[in-house]
Structure 1
Amino acid sequence: MEFIEDMAALEALYDSPAPASLTKVVARITPLYRRWIEASRFCVLTSVGSEGTDGSPRGDDGPVVRIADDKTLLLPDWRGNNRIDSLRNIVRDGRVSLMFMVPGSMNVVRVNGTAKLTADPAMTTQFEHRGKHPKTVITIVVEEMYFQCAKAIMRAGLWSRDDSEGLPTAGQFVQEMKADFDADSYDSGYAEYAKGRMW
């Protein structure tokens, strides 16, 4: 198998970008992008660090991020598994990307920017939910933002069917690595977690 090793070889395979794919890029949160992001309850946060890259799903029962101004997004870090891979990366290298999705919409909105973490109570208490606060808040300065063409979601039929039947559970994934792991108890705990202890 031959691999592409330089830009000239790569670019020779593709046509020039469609003009709209360049025009759509903005360096701030415009009114229309604001409307779209405020409708998004889910995004993927991508970060990079000395150990490599990390893609982390982030979700909330309302907007997944808060818009502070036309250049700044605020993403609370709610309770998780405490691996904090993304947070470690951000402390060492602030470059991040976000991919926002809205169920039913064929578009995706992408943000590239730089991030910092804060545990300042003046910030974390702003996100109080059911008496709990995030341990940290990720502040993201938007450098570029654009929507992604709908073709990938349309090809996948992403919102048109449920393909989850028969898939392994979280507990089964762990049990595959550790045979004596109690997958059923672990999965039952997840079910309880989803009933109201998500924060």
Structure 2
Amino acid sequence: MTAHTLTTLEALEARYAEPGAASLAKEVDYLHPHYRAFVEASPFCLLSTVAGGQAECSPRGDAPGFVQVLDERTLLLPDRRGNNRIDSLRNIIADPRVGLLFLVPGVDETLRVAGTAQISVDPALIARCEVDGKAPATVLVIAIRSVFFQCARALVRSQLWSPQAQIPRSALPSNGTILADLSRGGIDGHAYDEAQPERLRGTLY
């Protein structure tokens, strides 16, 4: 800690103005039909979890509406195939609190949802989330506690959807390069990169 580190709520609030009426009015404890439209249009969200004093964030994505609305207070999030680390699921077992941030391509506002999650293997819910006959291993049943839209400033500043802001993947280290270096040559980075396109096609679901 330094003299420039804020450590109290009073010191933090002193740095900011009071939130405006709109900032408070937009938050509700259920999925209003306007907010439901965001969820159903979104092909991508970020899932945040916390456990053991550590917070984590994980991407989730599929066709728009992949996060299903069970009712105005409940969402279903299928757990598609991944790397089997199941970090987020382990966290939820320890602490059910979750946050979701929904993005819609071309839309600068985002939607924030906070709540609690349970990990379900209910056959009916699993079947409901199948894609081309392929079922998720589990489904998160998320009880909504808070929902509101986040204003456009962050995405406008970042120019996230602007074609001019995009960079070629080759401008950053490849996955194989990263793995080869971190494993000190234990993983063949070139072979990993070569196999990646087919691996992705074969393991999306």
Q: Distance in 2 between matches of 1:64 and 1:188?
A: 30
**Map of 1:58-73 to 2, 5 A cutoff?**
58-73=60-75
Q: Distance in 1 between matches of 2:137 and 2:17?
A: 46
Q: Distance in 2 between matches of 1:15 and 1:174?
A: 45
Match of 2:180 in 1: 175
Mean CA deviation greater in 74-83 or 118-127 = 118-127
Residues 46-84 of structure 1 show CA distances to partners (whole Å, capped at 9, x for unaligned) of 001116111000001232300000000000001100100
1:101 to 1:115, Cα distance in 2 relative to 1, 3 A? same
Offset at residue 18 of structure 1 (A): 1.3
Query: Does the alignment pair 1:189 with 2:191?
Result: no
The answer as to whether partners of 1:109 and 1:146 remain within 8 angstroms in 2 is yes
Match of 2:129 in 1: 127
1:126 to 1:64, Cα distance in 2 relative to 1, 3 A? closer
Residues 121-160 of structure 1 show CA distances to partners (whole Å, capped at 9, x for unaligned) of 2221221222211110001011010010100110111111
**Map of 1:52-131 to 2, 5 A cutoff?**
52-131=54-133
Mean CA deviation greater in 181-190 or 55-64 = 181-190
Percent of matched pairs sharing the same residue = 43
Unpaired segments ≥5 residues, structure 2: none
Query: Does the alignment pair 1:163 with 2:167?
Result: yes
Match of 1:198 in 2: 204
Secondary structure of the 1:10 match is helix
Match of 1:6 in 2: 8
The answer as to whether partners of 2:81 and 2:203 remain within 8 angstroms in 1 is no
Q: Distance in 2 between matches of 1:131 and 1:186?
A: 28
Q: Distance in 1 between matches of 2:62 and 2:181?
A: 29
Mean CA deviation greater in 8-17 or 173-182 = 173-182
Offset at residue 120 of structure 1 (A): 2.1
* Structure with the largest fraction of helix: 2
| One-letter amino acid matched to 2:17 | D
In the comparison of the two structures, how many residue pairs are matched? 199
Unpaired segments ≥5 residues, structure 1: none
The answer as to whether partners of 1:43 and 1:64 remain within 8 angstroms in 2 is no
1:184 to 1:64, Cα distance in 2 relative to 1, 3 A? farther
The answer as to whether partners of 2:67 and 2:75 remain within 8 angstroms in 1 is yes
Offset at residue 187 of structure 1 (A): 2.2
